[in-house]
Structure 1
Amino acid sequence: MDVRFPVALKPGDRVGVTAPSSGVPEKLRARIDVAIETIKARGHEVVVGDCMNGAGHLSAPAPQRAAELTAMLTDPAIRAVVPPWGGETAIDLLPLLDWAAIGAAEPTWVVGFSDISTVITPLTLLTGLATVHGNNVMDTPYQVPSGLMSWLDIVAADPGTTLIQTPPGRYRAKGHDDYQLNPHVCDFTLDQAGSWTRLDSDDDVIVEGRLIGGCIETLSNVAGTPYGDVAAFARHAAPEGLLVYVEAAGDDALGICRNLHGMRLAGFFAAANAILIGRTRAPATESLTQTAAVLDALGCLGVPIIADVECGHVPPFMPMINGAHGRLVCTTDDNRLDQTLA
């Protein structure tokens, strides 16, 4: 199976907005309107789906959400699909999506993170479609810090392009902006210094592999199933090995430790040349930190483990392209991730 990269998004192209998991409550409609205007300012037309209701934890019944997402991914006029944000139970879509139709359609960019990992990572594993683990629609108005890229920059790149990102050296230590109070907020408050950290050694790392990964709390539930068979993807699409990235959304260290052990036993990290761990605010417990949880579950693999990468729920965001060929540099002089769309 070859990885398939969509063509670059151009002015005039359509972007579909649908919520495969949670919709947007009425009190936050002003924020999504601002976000949609940000996309339109790039010259794109925005098509908003029917599955956007934010009254509960799901935007619509599963068959309706699956049908709308399938329709957008197989519509040749829609060149990218982006959710408002994540949620809780997008896993219920997996048996309902028309995988054959999606796999046969012209590739379309799909963007998201958090619970959307439950959809985008299987899309890459099952169909070879490259997907973007990155900021969602509600995050789109934020100005991107130097060194990083927005999902709008990623999807505008031609196949074969190498995209280079470097961490800005700062992150947001606490809290989130109140979109109801300030729907137009576009400046990140990055109030804490922080850089990448190698957990397993002090040695420099320069390593390559095809990128795959996502949210620990959601992907741990599909690892080892037909929707999360990373080992099979590596055999068929990444003989060079993988750069696997994972991030904890909010579960405590004991839960993350247990989930990572399960993912390892399911072969999720079997072909990893290195593992990237997203920066997290998820809590420790009395007996275990988040760092110790990672090392307890994954330290036995004998590959570099790089922590505090900007690929999680702590702003800012470094979009990762599932299926792209990555080159990771983590040395005393240089931190960077190069992603080639090939």
Structure 2
Amino acid sequence: MDTHCQNRAMTPPLRFPRPLRPGDRIGVTAPSAGVAGAAVARIEFCVDWLRSRGYDVVVGECLVGDGLTSAPAEQRAAELTRMLADPDIACVLPPWGGETAIDLVDLLDWDALADAEPTWLVGYSDLSTVLVPITTRLGWATLHGDNLADTPYAVPDGLLHWLDVAGGPGPFVQRDSAQVATWVRFEEDPHATGWRHVGEGRWEVEGGGDLDVTGRLIGGCVETIGHLAGTPYGDVRSWAEELDEPTIVYVEACEDHAVDICRFLHGMRLAGWFDRAAAVLVGRTNAPDHPDLTQREGVLDALGRLGLPIVWDLEIGHVPPHLPLVNGALARVVVDGDDRRITQTLG
């Protein structure tokens, strides 16, 4: 299914899905982990929440399951392909991430997707494993934002909901929310719509000073996209070279300790992920330090030698709230005193 796509130009021009509107159909499928236990009530609530806002939500067969994945890889790949290629589905949204979405990237029907109109694919965590190749191989913009389980949460001042980003023409301006939050456990309240605030955060430039850079966004969860580096499904170097524009690479760590994150980032560096980068954005993390290496030191060990500006502690990962970013969007990042903002243009 993939040979034709491998033999032609890797990166067609960037294409942006049409704006998502109430009345449009959203497909829900689990390309990685399925839904079981207390999470069932949460996902049912989230589906109803979207329907109450006017969206036509269809739920696939690859959703419920208490194993490592929702279904065998071939079945998950077929359902994801079908939803993305279906002209009646405007957006595809997973319940959450998981562990092994990498097992389906070479099973997607890339030829069928290349012939289809672009569809919004939204999510983060293990879904980064699919977002990156959809953008770099097909040229489709993809949205690194809340998964379905997080979608009903209210957005703090400064940030936008992913529905706002997928639903408008832009440009989209978001600012440092200065908030650090956590989730409400499904067992405690499956209908939660407000983050539980636990602290404050602030974007800052490594070494101090100001920053004003522009580039095309690409990135995701280090533990998942790191395994794509050097493969046809994570060839950011070729994508950036064909675009012939600067990039802004964003990364975030979920749970691996600092040495593993350091290794992943070195691998991405060696595979050319940062060759065209104008800056690197790093999401705040609760991932553990190593006794001899902090998370920050791990990033600097891998990327400090590049001499690129690094911006720390953005809301782009496993520490909520979430700042939705569009892979392929033209982004301007400004950090200048109290002016800390990112502007995304879809086009």
Name the TM tier (shorter chain). over 0.9
Q: What letter matches 1:92 in structure 2?
A: D
Q: What letter matches 2:100 in structure 1?
A: T
1:274 aligns with 2:279: yes
Question: Which residue is 1:168 aligned to?
Answer: 177
Q: Which runs of 5+ in 1 are unaligned?
A: none
1:265 aligns with 2:270: yes
Question: Which residue is 2:220 aligned to?
Answer: 214
Are the aligned partners of 1:264 and 1:297 in contact in 2 as well (CA < 8 Å)?
yes
1:247-326 correspondence to structure 2 within 5 Å: 247-326=252-331
The whole-number CA distance in structure 2 between the counterparts of 1:240 and 1:204 is 22
1:157 aligns with 2:162: no
Q: What letter matches 1:113 in structure 2?
A: Y
1:85-100 correspondence to structure 2 within 5 Å: 85-100=96-111
Q: What letter matches 1:65 in structure 2?
A: R
1:53-64 correspondence to structure 2 within 5 Å: 53-64=64-75
1:119 aligns with 2:124: no
The whole-number CA distance in structure 1 between the counterparts of 2:315 and 2:203 is 9
Tell me how far 1:181 sits from its aligned partner.
2.3
Give SS of 1:78's match.
coil
Question: Which residue is 1:66 aligned to?
Answer: 77
Tell me how far 1:155 sits from its aligned partner.
1.2
1:223 aligns with 2:229: yes
Q: From 18, 22, 30, give the equivalent of 2:33.
A: 22
Tell me how far 1:37 sits from its aligned partner.
1.5
Stretches (4+) displaced over 6 A: none
Are the aligned partners of 2:183 and 2:195 in contact in 1 as well (CA < 8 Å)?
no
The whole-number CA distance in structure 1 between the counterparts of 2:84 and 2:106 is 16
Q: What letter matches 2:211 in structure 1?
A: V
Are the aligned partners of 1:134 and 1:151 in contact in 2 as well (CA < 8 Å)?
yes
Tell me how far 1:260 sits from its aligned partner.
0.7
Give SS of 1:4's match.
coil
Count of residue pairs brought into register by the alignment: 336
Q: 1:157 to 1:191 in 2, by over 3 A?
A: same
Question: Which residue is 2:8 aligned to?
Answer: none
Q: From 77, 80, 99, give the equivalent of 2:88.
A: 77
Q: What letter matches 2:316 in structure 1?
A: C
TM-score by length of 2: 0.95
The whole-number CA distance in structure 1 between the counterparts of 2:247 and 2:87 is 31
1:42 aligns with 2:47: no
The whole-number CA distance in structure 1 between the counterparts of 2:22 and 2:253 is 35
Question: Which residue is 1:327 aligned to?
Answer: 332
Tell me how far 1:180 sits from its aligned partner.
2.1
Question: Which residue is 1:184 aligned to?
Answer: 191
Are the aligned partners of 1:224 and 1:268 in contact in 2 as well (CA < 8 Å)?
no
Q: Which runs of 5+ in 2 are unaligned?
A: 1-11
Identity %: 53
CA-to-aligned-CA distance 1:127-148 (integer Å, 9 cap, x gap): 0000000110000111111111
The whole-number CA distance in structure 1 between the counterparts of 2:85 and 2:245 is 30
The whole-number CA distance in structure 2 between the counterparts of 1:153 and 1:221 is 31
Tell me how far 1:176 sits from its aligned partner.
3.5
Tell me how far 1:263 sits from its aligned partner.
0.9
The whole-number CA distance in structure 1 between the counterparts of 2:84 and 2:60 is 12
Tell me how far 1:279 sits from its aligned partner.
0.4
- Cα RMSD, aligned residues only: 0.9
The whole-number CA distance in structure 2 between the counterparts of 1:249 and 1:90 is 15
The whole-number CA distance in structure 1 between the counterparts of 2:14 and 2:37 is 39
TM-score by length of 1: 0.96
Tell me how far 1:53 sits from its aligned partner.
2.2
1:338 aligns with 2:343: yes
